[in-house]
Amino acid sequence: MATQYMYYPGCSMDGTGKAYHDSIEAVLPALDIRLAELDDWNCCGATEYMGISPLRSQALVGRNLALAEQQKNGTDTLVAPCSACYVNLARTDAYVRESEELAANVNDALSAGGMSYTPGSVKVRHLLEIMIDDVGLNEIHQHVTRPLAGLKLAPYMGCLVSRPDYDDRWQHREHPHALDQLLLHLGADVVEYSRRTDCCGGHMTQISPDTGLELIRRLIVEAERSGAHALVTVCPMCQMNVDFYQREMNHRFHEDHHMPILFFTQLMGLAFGMPAKDLGFGREIISARPALANIGIEAPLTEEEEAERAAAARPKRRRRGDPTLPAPEPRADQEALR
Amino acid sequence: MTTPKTGVYVCHCGTNIAAVVDVEEVRDWAASELADKGVVVARDYPFMCSSLGQELIENDIKEYGLERVVVAACSPHMHEKTFREASSNAGLNPYLTELVSIREQVSWVHTDKAKATDKAKAVIAGGVYRVSEQEPLEPLIAPVNSATLIVGGGIAGITAALEIASAGYPVHIVEREPSIGGHMAQYDKTFPTLDCAACILTPKMVDAGAHPNITLHTWSEVVDVSGSVGDFKIKVKHKPRYVVEEDCTGCGICVDKCPVQVIDTGFESGIGYRKAIYTPFPQAVPKYPVLTPENCTYFAKGTCKACEKFCPVDCIDFTQTDEYVELNVGNILLATGFQPFDARRIEAYGYGRLPNVFTSMEFERMSNAAGPTGGKIVLRDGVTEPKSVVIVHCVGSRDKNTNEYCSAICCMQSLKFAHLVKEHTDADVYECYIDMRTPGKGYDEFYNRILDEGTQFIRGRVAEVTDSLRYPEEAGCEGRLMVQVEDTLAGVKRRVPADMVILSTGLEPQPDATEVARMFGVGCSSNGFIIERHAKLAPVATMTDGVFAAGATLGPRDIPTSVSNGAAAAATILSRIAQGEIAMEPYRATVDAERCSGCRICNDLCPFSAITFDEDAMVTEINPKLCQGCGVCVAACPANAISGSGFSHLQIMAQIDGLLSDTSGGAGRHAEEAVGATA
Amino acid sequence: MTAPVTTPAAAAPAAAGQPFEPLILGFTCNWCSYRAADLAGTARTKYPHNVRLIRLMCSGRMEPEFILEGFAKGADAVIMTGCWPEDCHYRIQSVKALRRFIFLRRTLADLGIEPARLQRFYASAAEGQRFADEMARIVAEVKALGPIPPETRVALAAHPDVVASASQPQEVEV
Amino acid sequence: MIPADSRLETCIQCGTCGGSCPSYADMDHTPRQIFALIRAGARDKVLDSNTPWMCVSCYLCAVRCPQQIHIPDVMYALKAKATQEDRVPSHVAPDFSKTFVDYIHKYGRSFEVGLVAKHYLRHHMSRLPGMTTSGIGMVTKGRMGFRPHHIEGMDGLTAILDRATEIEQAKQRAVFEQPANEGAH
């Protein structure tokens, strides 16, 4: 029996985030998950509506939550694949739970449209959380038929999944390893990417290209520095910014970067052995072909590489007279994904 | 019922009370309207607590033969004792004197004079009604065992131990590490004078180790506490050292021969190594090494025994197990200290991810001449000297995401680090701080000295430490760290390139502070530090009689404060021992066996295990030495068989009546209402 | 003979046009909430005059009879205060007061007294401001409730057995 | 995390927010300075500042703030207030917000093509040539929907938003007026 969730795709799913849409359509059935799209949902307001009017923005989101409450069909989980949609839905739910006054105001507004929302009756979760918590890494690993070994990926989770984190689901809000672990379970080589939750620029590409393009540049430069073939994202807005504006960024800074950015679901599909064209590959502006070439050739490791790998796997012994100071143990809860 | 003769004394407290409460009106009202409750004299006086004010009361007790006294003045927490002693001097049982608060509860919190005056009357009426039901009480007397248990052998514990032992009384120090010395032994220099920590600490450690009145229980833990003030019974677990202490000469050959080297996360704070059998540092007291089975090859594989083979006195014993000893002591001092904040918890600072981010304890060991680098300030590679060092203040302090409190020592410790870096290297040093807090003796002078040495100060809390560079402006900084901070005085954001970042970590309670507090029956605030009996006036006592606390177990504090705490606790304990017996407030619950139905409802209510059930007589008994007087059992007893002295049912009911009594002087409001209802 | 004493508002029947000034009995524990009240005083934090305090050693000392006596003798509301459970000086006894509080509110409802007339809050020795704020809040709430009808009070006062029976099953689990 | 309670009055001016902010370079005041200005009652300076408009809502400041101040919410509230009083430092950011919101008012959903076209023609003409190739790519790769999607319950949504406006107008309270009031009594 398929696990069912309510689904709030968000406005970009049909446009700029089409590849995300395609890959979700392909991958989720394989994991026996059914997403029931919320009927007649409206825009979440992105990062813009809060700045026009906080209360109207909450009412706007409130309508979606109210729809979800009406359309519950054995599940109270509303899944959002877009980080901005996710945070907007989660915020309104969190705020009406915390403030009776706000709940009353939002419901007052909703009543004008013949609707109402009971605070807390819908659980808003990001698609990544569903993958990590409900499906589970081991289960995902079971579906891998074409490990992505040789493909070096920079896990770029972006800002809004682990922050502000209204329900305290993330222990690590700046350096979570959830996406790293997921990609590792697909067999990919995951690079240590220190900008994993930095900002993609958000609306800055629209309102201040100086800053917006610089933020994109930092993400790309850092990914290159860490040796990644591609960035992996969980948000259509991040994808759009890094992908679409990369050329303009190159132009502005007189540089020549070519860093594709892919949705994590696309990579899941690839690892599950699905054909690339069903997963929205080719829709990206910065082509992923050079990156994918790395796994197109399933060459065995050279002797040197094997020796290197084996050396890396052996625990280091301290040489006599080695002055190196021991480094602190990594966080004990590092294995905890977030 | 005969009403006892009562005197009422209304204090002006200068103008503190008199400016809001009409004290004369209150006095007259008490004299006339409370006469039927036994008030025979009512007076007002500018300062009742002065010696003249007290004399007034004493004279009246003699002249009028007063049987009860009510003083309307400040809070009982302020002067209850004063007035009880005054009564006692005049021959009246001290517990027959009641202090009611018309300052903290009336004049300081209300502005409407008529209403404040009215409330003052009610408060006095409550006191008069209540004290009329009070019975004379005698303080409880208990003998005091002259031995003292000190838990924790850091500088606070050592100081207290030496004071008490030198006065001629036995002391037991229980320390869970292999050596006494505590955190102070790890430091190189101490602020602000920059004395070498070992130079001032080791003589004290040696004294403590050699003192005939001090027994050291190192590598040991207290596992059980019972009894009460004057007569505690303590169970101490000695963990196996696998070294026979009686025979060991401390020669150190076993340590040399041990082939297993492990990272020393204890004394060396994780930047040095130790053997599987080790003494944490050369000056350790006692000198006997400790073997840790989890690291030992013999325990893992059954072979090796290098230590045993080479030991010249055959004192290695792999068969040792936990040993338990029982101690009887009269007083307990908790000096369990702190643990440094785990800097991994602030992800933005990169500790544990970025190798050249160090914690303050790591830096302390690094700067120590006896430490892993021999005192050289170097990066994690062990060789490179930093060119630029940024010291980050308030790591794990003043942060609602971690610890809300100020850790008190970090500003000074950071300044010390700046000095040490400057002393040992040519590096540029930056201090990023929120507020510079240097309130100790010579501390601000030290700050000035560091300013003078050329350390650069940036007023701003560091936002993040990163290895991700920005181009082109940071080209050439590859491999370095960038410290991102808003310089709030200049109003600009800065990215300071650094080779080394030192996180000035705050102080946290020991990880098991809550369990320790529970075991000793003392209160612990929600952050885990022990609560003192009174933050200002009883700073080293706890709410539990006979249990004291000193040093960082009470909250973050530096060495001078910890030492004064230890000395203060020692003085308090010595005064208890010198008295030979102690008087305790007689607020205790007692069972009237006649009325006890044996229902046992009260039996599970006492957290101090004072309530037991006598199976033969089928009645409940309360041990007055264990009873703390909370009164929960009194309230719960369905047969009214338990009474609580000082807070009896009759007293409280009387006070309720008094507080709600009519203060108008004429026919009362409630009388009218009642008439109206029945008419 | 004393000077004539004006009738203070607190004790006066709510005359026409005069706002209702409730009389409120507040129970405090010796270690936390009484000290919070002391701190409110030391800090000169103002709060309404309607509250009169009784000091117990622990909030767990609270007997149901105290509350019923309070209502019978003219209180318009009763407040139970004590230590935050984690700071309780008798370790866990303030939690026991909470259990009684829940039970007592039910009992009061049976006796015709609105549960909101029995209030409860925690205040540590450091929370003088909180103490004052809570006092202001509660006084405002009780003012909104208005006075207790005299017949309810008379019934309470006239039937000590009600009081006695209400004080029996105290340790109900909730 | 209560919207009504941003905890702004507890700011200790440590600068963690400014140090964390990715769009700091574009701001005429750091967030910390804005909070100080709010406290100082410098209403005009605050409302004329571009700082709130440059906030990207990345929530780094919010999770790092040692006082747990809800900084993005403060920024939202300041933007809303400035919009209401029609005093904005530059029109690029407010226009973008407004264009975005207008599409919601019209269709119930965002309309990316319309949004981008409108916004760029108005404010970023000079950027268009450099973006042509990518723009064409978006079209050929099927990532641009040329027809907006109308939601069915548009009337209901309009009614909901109108009611929200009424409620909001009924209780106008600007965030930055609170600390000043508190200081007054």
Going A233 to A236 to A238 to A240, the CA torsion angle's sign is: positive
In terms of DSSP bridges, do strands B428-433 and B388-395 run parallel, antiparallel, or are they unpaired? parallel
Tally A–B CB contacts below 8 A: 56
Contact call for B352 and A329, based on CB within 8 A: yes
- Fold match, B6-139 / B589-644: no
Tally A–D CB contacts below 8 A: 230
Report yes or no on C80 lying in a domain.
yes
Q: Is the distance from CB of D56 to CB of B389 less than 8 angstroms?
A: no
DSSP state of A328: P
Say if C19 is an interface residue toward chain B (CB within 8 Å): no
In terms of DSSP bridges, do strands B189-190 and B195-196 run parallel, antiparallel, or are they unpaired? antiparallel
pLDDT at B677 over 50: no
pLDDT at B24 over 50: yes
Looking at this protein, which amino acid is placed at residue B88? S
The CA distances from residue A184 to A32, A149, A154, A177, B333, in Å, are: 21, 9, 11, 10, 53
How far does C120 lie from chain B, in Å, by closest CA?
17
DSSP state of A76: -
Query: How much is the pLDDT for B269?
Result: 95
* Chain D residues touching A17 at Cβ < 8 A: 143
The DSSP string of D95-121 is: HHHHHHHHHHHHHSS--HHHHHHHHHH
Report yes or no on A307 lying in a domain.
no
Name the closest residue on chain B to residue D69, using Cα atoms: B400
CATH number at residue C103: 3.40.50
* Nearest CB neighbour to D66, from listed B398, B487, B491: B398
Contact call for B525 and C87, based on CB within 8 A: yes
How far does A173 lie from chain D, in Å, by closest CA?
8
> pLDDT band at residue A299, thresholds of 50, 70 and 90?
very low
* Nearest CB neighbour to B352, from listed A225, A326, A331: A331
- Phi, psi for D133 (deg, rounded to 5): -60, -50
Q: What is the CATH number of domain B6-139?
A: 3.40.50
Report yes or no on C45 lying in a domain.
yes
Q: Which of A246, A231, A256, A237 is nearest to A285 (CA)?
A: A246
Contact call for C40 and B104, based on CB within 8 A: yes
Query: How much is the pLDDT for B671?
Result: 33
First to last CA, chain B: 31
* Chain B residues touching D71 at Cβ < 8 A: none
Looking at this protein, which amino acid is placed at residue A315? P
Give the least confident one: B249-253, B626-630, D157-161.
B626-630
**By residue range, what is the domain housing residue A99?**
3-127
Q: Is the distance from CB of B501 to CB of D37 less than 8 angstroms?
A: no
Contact call for B543 and C89, based on CB within 8 A: yes
How far does D51 lie from chain A, in Å, by closest CA?
12
Same domain, A83 and A176: no
Instruction: Pick the last residue of a domain from A127, A161, A189.
Output: A127
pLDDT at A319 over 60: yes
Alpha-carbon distance of D16 to D27, in angstroms, equals 15
Q: Which of A28, A7, A274 is nearest to A135 (CA)?
A: A28
Per-residue model confidence as pLDDT tens digits over A215-228: 999 999 999 999 99
The CA distances from residue B551 to B174, B607, C69, in Å, are: 15, 27, 47
Q: Which residue has the higher pLDDT, D115 or B522?
A: D115
Q: Which residue has the higher pLDDT, A307 or D23?
A: D23
The CA distances from residue C46 to A291, B112, B428, C54, C82, in Å, are: 70, 11, 53, 19, 20
Q: How many domains does chain A have?
A: 2
Same domain, A81 and A211: no
Report yes or no on A158 lying in a domain.
yes
* Nearest CB neighbour to B29, from listed C2, C58, C87: C2
Say if B488 is an interface residue toward chain D (CB within 8 Å): yes
Per-residue model confidence as pLDDT tens digits over B45-93: 999 999 999 999 999 999 999 999 999 999 998 888 889 999 999 999 9
DSSP state of B435: S
pLDDT at B258 over 70: yes
* Chain B residues touching D29 at Cβ < 8 A: 491
- Phi, psi for C102 (deg, rounded to 5): -65, -45
Q: Which of B428, B489, B485, B487 is nearest to B453 (CA)?
A: B428
Query: How much is the pLDDT for D130?
Result: 76
- Phi, psi for B377 (deg, rounded to 5): -90, 110
Report, as an integer, the average pLDDT of B405-423. 96
Q: Which CATH architecture has domain B148-331+556-579?
A: 3-Layer(bba) Sandwich (3.50)
pLDDT at B141 over 50: yes
How far does B314 lie from chain D, in Å, by closest CA?
57
* Average predicted confidence (pLDDT) for chain B: 92
Going B392 to B397 to B400 to B403, the CA torsion angle's sign is: positive
Same domain, A25 and A70: yes
Q: Is the distance from CB of B364 to CB of B269 less than 8 angstroms?
A: yes
Is cis: bond before A300, omega within 30 of 0?
A: no
Contact call for A113 and D164, based on CB within 8 A: no
Report yes or no on A255 lying in a domain.
yes
Is cis: bond before A260, omega within 30 of 0?
A: no
Same domain, A151 and A119: no
Per-residue model confidence as pLDDT tens digits over D125-139: 888 877 777 888 788
Q: Helical H runs in A47-119? A: 49-52, 54-71, 83-98, 100-111
How far does B31 lie from chain C, in Å, by closest CA?
9
CATH number at residue A82: 1.20.1050.140
Report, as an integer, the average pLDDT of A238-266. 93
Q: What's the CA angle centered on A53, arms A52 and A57, to 5 degrees? A: 105
How far does D16 lie from chain B, in Å, by closest CA?
5
Alpha-carbon distance of B175 to B208, in angstroms, equals 13
Site from D1, D16, D34, D70 to mutate, B interface, most B CB atoms within 10 angstroms: D16
* Chain D residues touching B400 at Cβ < 8 A: 66-68
Q: Which of B394, B324, B391, B401 is nearest to B364 (CA)?
A: B391
Q: Which of A208, A262, B651 is nearest to D24 (CA)?
A: A208
Report yes or no on A253 lying in a domain.
yes
Site from A67, A83, A207 to mutate, D interface, most D CB atoms within 10 angstroms: A207
Site from A250, A316, A325, A335 to mutate, B interface, most B CB atoms within 10 angstroms: A325
Per-residue model confidence as pLDDT tens digits over D21-54: 998 888 999 999 999 999 899 999 999 999 999 9
B340-508 carries CATH number 3.50.50.60: yes
Query: How much is the pLDDT for B364?
Result: 96
Query: How much is the pLDDT for B90?
Result: 94
Q: Is the distance from CB of B149 to CB of B226 less than 8 angstroms?
A: no
Chains near C (3 or more Cβ pairs under 8 Å): B
Report, as an integer, the average pLDDT of A118-127. 96
Query: How much is the pLDDT for A157?
Result: 95
Give the least confident one: B299-313, B383-397, B443-457, B506-520.
B506-520
**By residue range, what is the domain housing residue C65?**
21-162
Cα B203 off chain centre by = 27
Report yes or no on A337 lying in a domain.
no
Per-residue model confidence as pLDDT tens digits over B430-486: 999 999 999 999 999 999 999 999 999 999 999 999 999 988 889 889 999 999 999
Report yes or no on C81 lying in a domain.
yes
How far does B463 lie from chain A, in Å, by closest CA?
12
CATH number at residue A261: 3.40.50.11810
Alpha-carbon distance of B156 to B173, in angstroms, equals 11
* Chain A residues touching B470 at Cβ < 8 A: 218
Q: How many domains does chain C have?
A: 1
* Nearest CB neighbour to D104, from listed A43, A198, A284: A43
Domain borders along chain B are 6-139, 148-331+556-579, 340-508, 589-644
Query: How much is the pLDDT for A87?
Result: 95
Contact call for B488 and D18, based on CB within 8 A: yes
* Chain D residues touching B460 at Cβ < 8 A: 14-16, 18-19
Same domain, A118 and A156: no
Contact call for D19 and B398, based on CB within 8 A: no
Contact call for D22 and A163, based on CB within 8 A: no
How far does B383 lie from chain A, in Å, by closest CA?
7
Domain borders along chain D are 8-89+174-184, 92-166
Contact call for D104 and A42, based on CB within 8 A: yes
Query: How much is the pLDDT for D184?
Result: 35
* Nearest CB neighbour to D15, from listed B399, B400, B460: B460
Say if B13 is an interface residue toward chain C (CB within 8 Å): no
pLDDT at C14 over 60: no
pLDDT at D86 over 50: yes
Helix (H) / strand (E) element for B633: namely helix B632-636
Residues in chain C, overall count: 174
How far does A133 lie from chain D, in Å, by closest CA?
23
Contact call for D18 and B461, based on CB within 8 A: no
Tally B–C CB contacts below 8 A: 192
Per-residue model confidence as pLDDT tens digits over B145-185: 999 999 999 999 999 999 999 999 999 999 999 999 999 99
Q: Is the distance from CB of B654 to CB of B132 less than 8 angstroms?
A: yes
